[in-house]
Amino acid sequence: MFKVYHEVLTLSTVRQFQLIDITKDVEKIVERSGIKDGICVVFAPHATGAIIANENEAGLLDDITTFVREFTESDREWKHNRIDDNAHAHIGSAVISSERVFPVIGWRLVRGTWQNIFFVEMDGPRPYRNVVVMVLGSIS
């Protein structure tokens, strides 16, 4: 039998650029879904945030943050900054992507040992950020 299940995670961020590890939350949602085989979509409904999968190592998280800050050129005079002050974050979201998809096999989310799941804040701090986690698949 086919099933679709979702939950919404609510986060808050405290810095302009910040990576928040949501791996355990996503894995618990997959467990609660009861879905045996299918896919798990992790989606950030925000134009200035993104979702990535990578290693949770402090130095690397700083490196990724540095890279995102540099490639989005947060100090540049982007046109969107004439009406809002976050063009770099929109560009980061557009390039990195708002969603990632993971396989679900045998009631477990499949990911590499060094693939934790992160929400990427690029326009913080924000009191509320949502991440929609949707699991679709068979329950038997």
Positions in 84-113 near Zn ion (CB under 5 A) = 84, 86
Provide the minimum distance between the beta carbon of 53 and Zn ion in the complex, in angstroms, as a whole number. Answer: 26
Tokens linked to 106: 């045998």
Nearer to Zn ion, 94 or 110 (CB): 94
Tokens 């910040």, residue? 18
Asked if residues 9 and 131 have their Cβ atoms less than 8 Å apart, the reply is yes
DSSP conformation letters of 41-110: EEE---TTEEEEEE---HHHHHHHHHHHHHHTTTTS--GGGGT-S-HHHHHHHHHH-SEEEEEEETTEE-
Considering only 19-27, 33-41, 59-67, 77-85, which stretch makes contact with Zn ion by CB under 5 A? 77-85
Q: Would you give the distance in Å from CA 95 to the centre of its chain?
A: 13
Nearer to Zn ion, 72 or 86 (CB): 86
74 scored as a contact of Zn ion (CB under 5 A): no
Considering only 31-39, 50-58, 80-88, 95-103, which stretch makes contact with Zn ion by CB under 5 A? 80-88
Provide the minimum distance between the beta carbon of 18 and Zn ion in the complex, in angstroms, as a whole number. Answer: 18
Binding footprint of Zn ion on the chain (CB under 5 A): 84, 86
